[in-house]
Amino acid sequence: MVISAVYVRPQKLEEAVELMSTDTWRILAGGTDIYPSIGENELKTSFMDLTNVSSLKGITEDQFFWRIGALATWADLLKTKLPPAFDALKQAAREIGSIQIQNRATIVGNICNASPAADGVPPLMILDAGIELTSINGLREVALKDFITGNREIARDKNEIVSCIKVPKIDLGSRSVFKKLGVRKYLVISITMVALKLSIGESGTIKRATLAVGACSAVAKRLLELEYLLEGKTTAEAGDLINDTYLADLTPITDVRATANYRKVATKILIQRSISSFENRNQDG
Ligand SMILES: Cc1cc2nc3c(=O)[nH]c(=O)nc-3n(C[C@H](O)[C@H](O)[C@H](O)COP(=O)(O)OP(=O)(O)OC[C@H]3O[C@@H](n4cnc5c(N)ncnc54)[C@H](O)[C@@H]3O)c2cc1C
């Protein structure tokens, strides 16, 4: 293999940001998307390895937000005590690759790779997550729904580093669930996936529903009309009301893993299973 690339490993975010303004760098975090994508090809890009920047590690909170640092791994997420609304993201974490991948791979890397099948995106969409970008010009924030603009496309300027994912402390007492379908249980790319957050009142009816589907469009999608339909229903009655009209925004493709039609049918079933998983849960949030 010919190696003509430059490799840098800054110690501080300021140093990384300064370097970003001087050249074109490919940011390296856990490398679990980057290394397989390079394979045996010639290394041409210059890499900036962020793994020594300690200020990007960990998951923290203040009065208004939870912050998932750019170097927080799926394993870090699983170790952190978080409100119930993060349950869907934690369930996704448990199904990302294997324990070795979860120990190495970052949540921010999953978002920046912007695969239509990235398991982290729907659970973060139902949390109304925002993406914080740092550059020599300062900080900028973009809603996750606007950050991923297409298949492997993100709204990041070439000199910006994603410094963290911000989750507003709104409605985090509500429970959430994540369901993924693959050809087997582990080490598998999703055929479809659903993340659902429900706030259920004392009367047993749904007060607020937030639902996102991944792997059935270039970018994961919130199904807003379906969310609206679920409100005011009990979980027992809600599942039967779902029909294809509410999935019309999805544009699944046929590929080696499944046909478009199979993806749509499976998505409807995953949504119904997600809703019924809230039955018998004693909650109000
Ligand atoms: C065996 C295996 C199994 C896998 N299973 C799954 C799975 O089940 N579900 C799933 O969704 N994914 C899976 N993946 C993909 C991968 O592990 C995840 O997407 C992971 O979260 C990526 O994180 P990373 O830190 O390794 O990213 P990296 O590979 O380091 O980077 C990924 C991309 O993000 C960019 N990037 C990283 N950090 C930043 C930053 N701070 N600012 C700007 N850009 C940044 C990089 O430049 C690159 O383009 C699997 C991968 C492997 C190898």
Beta bridge partners of 199: 208
Position 225 pLDDT exceeds 80: yes
Position 285 pLDDT exceeds 50: no
Q: Are 47 and 4 in contact (CB under 8 A)?
A: no
Q: What is the pLDDT of residue 125?
A: 98
CB atoms within 10 A of CB 234: 16
The residue nearest atom 3 of ligand 1, judged by CA position, is 97
Q: What is the pLDDT of residue 185?
A: 81
Reported as a single tens digit per residue, the pLDDT across 79-97 is 999 999 999 999 999 999 9
**Distance, C-alpha 258 to centroid of its chain:** 22
Q: Where does residue 102 fall: left (phi above 0), alpha (psi -120 to 50 degrees), or beta otherwise?
A: alpha
The residue nearest atom 36 of ligand 1, judged by CA position, is 109
Least confident of 3-7, 142-146, 179-183: 3-7
List ligand 1's pocket residues with C-beta within 6 A: 26-34, 36, 50, 70, 95-97, 101, 105-106, 108-110, 112-113, 118-119, 161-162, 187
The Cα 65–Cα 78 span in angstroms is: 18
CA-to-CA separations, 102 to 94, 112, 171, 225, in angstroms, rounded: 8, 16, 27, 34
Q: What is the pLDDT of residue 2?
A: 52
Q: What is the pLDDT of residue 184?
A: 85
- Pairing of the two strands 192-200 and 175-181: antiparallel
Phi, psi of 148 (to 5 degrees): -90, 115
Q: What is the pLDDT of residue 5?
A: 74
Q: pLDDT-based confidence at 281, cuts 50/70/90?
A: low
Query: What is the end-to-end Cα distance of the chain in Å, rounded?
Result: 55
Q: From the CA of 77, how far away is ligand 1's center (Å)? A: 15
Residue type, 160: E
Nearest residue to 198 (alpha-carbon basis) of 166, 168, 236, 167: 236
Half-sphere exposure of 248 (CA within 13 A, CB side): 6
User: Per-residue pLDDT averaged across 261-265, rounded?
Assistant: 97
> Which residues, 6+ apart, have CB-to-CB distance to 34 below 8 Å?
26, 28
Token pair of 39, please? 């394979």
Reported as a single tens digit per residue, the pLDDT across 126-146 is 999 999 999 999 999 999 999
The residue nearest atom 7 of ligand 1, judged by CA position, is 96
Q: Are 10 and 46 in contact (CB under 8 A)?
A: no
Query: CA quadruple 62, 130, 162, 182: dihedral positive or negative?
Result: positive
Q: pLDDT-based confidence at 284, cuts 50/70/90?
A: very low
The residue nearest atom 33 of ligand 1, judged by CA position, is 113
The residue nearest atom 1 of ligand 1, judged by CA position, is 97
Q: From the CA of 125, how far away is ligand 1's center (Å)? A: 18
Q: What is the pLDDT of residue 156?
A: 98
Q: What is the pTM of this model?
A: 0.96
CATH number of 176-276: 3.30.390.50
Q: What is the pLDDT of residue 220?
A: 98
The residue nearest atom 53 of ligand 1, judged by CA position, is 32
Position 186 pLDDT exceeds 90: no
Above pLDDT 70, what percent of the chain?
96
Nearest residue to 73 (alpha-carbon basis) of 101, 114, 97, 53: 101
Q: What is the pLDDT of residue 40?
A: 87
Mean pLDDT of the chain: 95
Reported as a single tens digit per residue, the pLDDT across 28-67 is 999 999 999 998 888 888 999 999 999 999 999 999 999 9
Q: What is the pLDDT of residue 201?
A: 93
User: Per-residue pLDDT averaged across 218-243, rounded?
Assistant: 96
Reported as a single tens digit per residue, the pLDDT across 100-114 is 999 999 999 999 999
Q: pLDDT-based confidence at 187, cuts 50/70/90?
A: confident
- Pairing of the two strands 59-61 and 65-69: antiparallel
Q: From the CA of 111, how far away is ligand 1's center (Å)? A: 8
